[in-house]
Amino acid sequence: MDRGGAVPDPRNSPGRSQTRAVPPLVSPMSDHESRMGLVPVESLLAERDELVRQVAPLRARYATWGTWEHERKIELAKIATLLRQAATDARAKVSAAQVDDMAHADLRYIQFVADATIERAAWINLEARIEGIDFTLQRGQAVARFLASETYLTPRTG
């Protein structure tokens, strides 16, 4: 449920636009939220939607059952193949263990792991921001319930 911006078109057929513009929704509760001093739900949900859009590829790659371990093995295999070919071209004999060690120490593999570390840090930061928004939404609900009960319990004058 998107609260603004572009949302996927549910009719995902060729030749159709994959997104359509949707005006941001304004809740009838916005006035009440404002008077209670709460951050409007629409803005929190819009920000959360954007963060989830950004974190989705990182979750798919690094979370449980993600693809990173497979990508890592593919990268090692490609580097090992190149190293084995270079050894063959140089008529040098190298064992499988030596090729494996050289592949793990190769600058391309080191850079691959370093890039993944940076992406994982970004993933953790995005997850923390999503969690913060979830907490703010929950706190807003608690404050709203408290203020509503206070209003109900306050004796009427006049």
The radius of gyration of the chain from alpha carbons, rounded to an integer in Å, stands at 26
Q: Which residue has the higher pLDDT, 87 or 17?
A: 87
Residue 8 has pLDDT above 60, yes or no: no
Tens of pLDDT, residue by residue over 25-67, are 566 666 666 777 777 888 899 999 999 999 999 999 999 999 9
Closest Cα partner for 141 from 24, 51, 29?
Answer: 29
pLDDT (0 to 100) of residue 152 = 63
The reported pTM is 0.68
- Provide DSSP, 117-135: HHHHHHHHHHHHHHHHHHH
